[in-house]
Amino acid sequence: MSQRNKPYKFTWEGLGNIDEGRKSLGPDMPVLIYRLFQYTLKDVLVREYDEETAARLFRAAGYLAGTELSENMLDLSGDFDFFIANLTNKLKELKIGILRIEKVDPISLSFTLTVSEDLDCSGLPVSGESVCDYDEGFIAGILEAYTGRPFHVKEIDCWSTGDRTCRFAAEGR
């Protein structure tokens, strides 16, 4: 059985009762610590495998997270405008980023969207390389959870390439 056909072990309930477990510290943590985890994990994956594999694994993890967040924290029952408003509010509330839809083609399910103050990269040094592989998967998972169709999401602008917002092209398949 290939890895892709294995069921996920992750469950939303497996995140635990954060209020009970962190009575003094609460549910929040600094972005610095999130990035410390993310970028050290990515570095280890690159060293153990290669850049392409690490990026693919981050997209896969992002996809799973986007799907789970959608199914557990978003109202997927409304029309597209309601869904986007709900998603925008949730991403801001969770301090993931500030979502803006720039272009929509509802017939082909093609979107261009930006995420400003992105949790993963806003404020990083300019490296010339796009770094938001996790976000590509995260957005794809969210859009698939809402539409029922798979999506290919590609970051086309990134803070680390010198832009001041992350821009993504999303295409339904």
What are 40-81's pLDDT values in tens digits?
999 999 999 999 999 999 999 999 999 999 999 999 999 999
In a domain, 66, yes or no: yes
**Model confidence, pTM:** 0.95
Q: Which domain holds residue 145?
A: 28-172
In a domain, 129, yes or no: yes
- At 120, the pLDDT band (50, 70, 90 cuts) reads very high
In a domain, 7, yes or no: no
Instruction: Give the chain's domain count.
Output: 1
Q: SS3 for the chain, per residue?
A: CCHHHCCCCCCHHHHCCHHHHCCCCCCCCCHHHHHHHHHHHHHHHHHHCCHHHHHHHHHHHHHHHHHHHHHHHCCCCCCHHHHHHHHHHHHHHCCCCEEEEEEEECCCCEEEEEEECCCCCCCCCCCCCCCCHHHHHHHHHHHHHHHCCCEEEEEEECHHHCCCCEEEEEEEC
In a domain, 91, yes or no: yes
In a domain, 122, yes or no: yes
In a domain, 59, yes or no: yes
In a domain, 15, yes or no: no
- At 4, the pLDDT band (50, 70, 90 cuts) reads low
CATH assignment at residue 93: 3.30.1380.20
In a domain, 17, yes or no: no
- The mean of the pLDDT values for the chain is 95
